[in-house]
Structure 1
Amino acid sequence: MGKGHFENWGESAIADNSQQTDTSTDIDTDDKNQFNSGQHGGQIVVDSMEGSMGKIGDPKILRRLAQNREAARKSRLRKKAYVQQLESSRIKLTHLEQELKRARQQGMFIAAGASGDHNSVVGGNGALAFDMDYSRWLDDHQRLINDLRSAVNTQIPDNELRILVEAVMSHYDEIFRLKSIATKSDVFHMLSGMWKTPAERCFLWIGGFRSSEILKMLGNHLEPLTDQQLMGICNLQQSSQQAEDALSQGMEALQQSLVDTLSVGFTSSGNVGDYMGQMAIAMGKITTLENFLHQADLLRQQTLQQLHRILTTRQSARAFLVISDYMSRLRALSSLWLARPKD
């Protein structure tokens, strides 16, 4: 080989070795960087774990975790009690429905009678008991009114007529007594007037008739009246109207208060204690509702008694006949309306 060829070969070999050396150096550098990075990352993980372990041992965090566990435990207990209460209520409701169904099927009626028994129930239901009592009361009332009408038409002496008038007055006292018993059992049944005909319910006011309307109606059927009687009836009508207005306003305020009580906490967390507290308040307001119904019946009873004292015996007899005829026509109107052609 010539000298020039040897020199060229040597330069070529040196160039090849140089390229291989550079490549090897690059690879070694990358591996080294990756190794160092891995060591650094591992160190970060170790440091993070050591920091977490240190924080867990912090008394504040441990106390907060214990409080959270206790709150969760109490929440589970409340939910469990609430579910148990709902289940108990469902069982009681089912039991009552079964008793009511059995009472209706068997016709087992235990009603309060003249003996003064205040446990007026029909198969455990006071509303059914009152319906039966009221039906019997209507039959007895019609017999008394028939006797009174016959006595007025035959012009019997006042002392004999007075006995019949007093009997009718006592019979009205009986229905107020029965209503008082039934109100304690089911105030909503009494307020709804479901024991009356549809036409009567149309004019219902707090479970009965308006005294002022009855007095206004009687004014055209009791003539002639003395000036003193006219003044007495006028004053009685005015006082009855004022009492009715006061009771109506009280009922409206009570109903609004009940709505406000039941609507509290719709967006709350459903705490069972809060719910039961609100329902307890609502139950207390329903007791007040019973008092309003009692006051309305007391007003009706006292109005009839005052009217009886203002009028003579024959005028009182006439007044009771007019009131009875008015109620009978309302019941007849209901029957005619229900029996009308539906075409």
Structure 2
Amino acid sequence: MADASPRTDISTDADTDDKNPRFDRALSNAIVPSDSSDRSKDKSDQKTLRRLAQNREAARKSRLRKKAYVQQLESSRLKLTQLEQELQRARQQGIFISSSGDQAHSMSGNGAMAFDVEYARWLEEQSQQINELRSAVNSHASDTELRMIVEGVMAHYDKIFRLKSDAAKADVFHLLSGMWKTPAERCFLWLGGFRSSELLKLLVNQLEPLTEQQLVGIGNLQQSSQQAEDALSQGMEALQQSLAETLSSGSLGSSGSSGNVANYMGQMAMAMGKLGTLESFIRQADNLRQQTLQQMHRILTTRQSARALLAIHDYFSRLRALSSLWLARPRE
């Protein structure tokens, strides 16, 4: 029995030693999956954190863009309000502010802009005079009172012709283009204004009944106006043809030689000289219009002249109204 006990202990130790490697491997196999799961979880958490960080950054940039856009809108609104206020003050003070808002032109500066402002003021004054004239006609005012109002309207027409004469010296092309008129008025534009002969045709039906002498006088005035208009139109066509020939004479190629440069400058000088006659055409056309109105006033009685002036004003007012309706028409 004494011999058996040590063998039993040795055998037990040996068995225990033999089993330890297997136990360690099993334990190791049990631990490895746990570490792999932890690493996978860490990677997933990192991706989530990165996505959250990216989302926060995108949201921050979006807020900044939105804030900048709102500030830009507010700045534009304030600038627009300021421009509207400046334009209103400019109209009251006789100064035109350009659409860019960074440039002001006095009445003695840009001729086209100055004329547009003066013409708008002239229309307002004419509207007031016509209202007074219409009221006098409807209330059957005395001939003396009516004559004074008619003379005032006629004098007001003289004013616009003086304004156009000054504008032609500053920018004759602006008057010829008719950009100071409404689109419908520009359809009937002739040398910076209306055709006197056409206007007389419209007035004949508005002034009936006329005496035989008045009919003859209006007919002669219409005929002489038509002849003068034809002469001016022919002169304008001749000027355009001469100008085209001047600009097309010589070589149209772009050569840098001194001879061609001198020829080019000579062409421009001749063309400039011919363009200078445009002012004369505008002045002659306005003189014809002014004389036609004055002659018409002499032929007609005071009350007929009042009716004629009302008819002229109503005709151009309807053209301006037609332009407004055309510009405001619905578009598909």
**Match of 1:148?**
133
Residues in 1 aligned to 2:97 and 2:149: alpha-carbon distance in whole angstroms: 41
1:58-84 Cα deviation digits (max 9, x unpaired): xxxxxxxxxxxxxxxxxxxxxxxxxxx
Amino acid at match of 2:304: Q
CA–CA distance in 1 between the matches of 2:210 and 2:171? 42
Looking at structure 1, the residues matched to 305 and 97 of structure 2 have their Cα atoms a distance apart, in angstroms, of 44
Of 228-237 and 258-267, the range deviating more from structure 2:
258-267
Q: What is the correspondence of 1:161-180 to structure 2 with a 5 Å cutoff?
A: 161-180=146-165
**Where does residue 273 of structure 1 map in the other structure?**
262
CA deviation digits over 1:72-110, x for unaligned, max 9?
Answer: xxxxxxxxxxxxxxxxxxxxxxxxxxxx98796267453
Confirm whether residue 296 of structure 1 aligns to residue 285 of structure 2. Answer: yes
TM-score (norm 2): 0.68
Alignment of 1:181-196 (within 5 A): 181-196=166-181
Map of 2:229 onto structure 1: 244
Amino acid at match of 1:245: D
| 2:244 corresponds to 1:255 | no
C-alpha deviations, 1:189-213, integer Å up to 9, x for none?
0000000000000110010000000
Gaps of 5+ in 2: 1-95
Q: How does 1:26-105 map to 2 (within 5 A)?
A: 105=101
Q: Is structure 2 residue 309 aligned with structure 1 residue 314?
A: no
Within the alignment, does 1:198 sit opposite 2:194 as a pair? no
Summarize the Cα distance change of 1:106–1:166 in structure 2 as closer, same or farther, 3 Å threshold: farther
**TM-score, normalization by structure 1:** 0.66
Output the CA distance in 1 between the equivalents of 2:199 and 2:271: 34
2:320 to 303, 306, 331: 331
Q: Distance in 1 between matches of 2:149 and 2:100?
A: 37
**What SS does the aligned partner of 1:220 have?**
helix
1:103·1:109 contact (CA, 8 Å) conserved in 2?
no
Task: Give the match for residue 129 of structure 1.
Answer: 114
In structure 1, what is the equivalent of residue 91 of structure 2? none
The code of the aligned residue for 2:274 comes to K
In structure 2, the CA distance between the partners of 1:203 and 1:259, relative to structure 1 (3 Å rule), is: same
Letter of the aligned partner of 1:138 in structure 2? L
Tell me which amino acid in the other structure corresponds to 1:194: M
Name the CA shift for 1:289/1:149 in 2 (closer, same or farther; >3 Å). Answer: same
- Percent identity reads 71
Supply the AA of the counterpart residue of 1:207.
G
* Structure 1 gap segments, 5+ residues each: 1-99, 112-120
Deviation at 1:223, TM superposition (A): 1.0
State the distance in 2 between where 1:110 and 1:153 align.
Answer: 41
Contact 1:127 1:182 in 2 (8 A): yes
> In structure 2, what is the Cα distance between the partners aligned to 1:230 and 1:107?
54
Task: Answer yes or no: is the 8 Å Cα contact 1:145–1:321 preserved in 2.
Answer: yes
Distance 1:304 1:104, change over 3 A: farther
In structure 1, give the amino acid aligned to 2:106: I
* Distance in 2 separating the partners of 1:109 and 1:129: 8
Maintained 8 Å contact 2:203/2:311: yes
Equivalenced residues, count: 233
Partner of 1:52: none
CA distance in 2, matches of 1:192, 1:184: 15
| 2:115–2:164 contact (8 Å) kept in structure 1 | yes
- AA aligned opposite 1:274: N
The amino acid that maps onto 1:320 is L
Q: CA RMSD in A?
A: 1.7
- 1: CA distance between counterparts of 2:123 and 2:146? 21
Write the deviation string for residues 299-338 of structure 1: whole angstroms up to 9, x where unpaired.
0000000000100000000000000000000000000000
Per-residue deviation, 1:268:
7.5
The amino acid that maps onto 1:201 is R
Once residues 167 and 104 of structure 1 are traced to their aligned partners in structure 2, the CA distance between those partners, rounded to angstroms, is 39
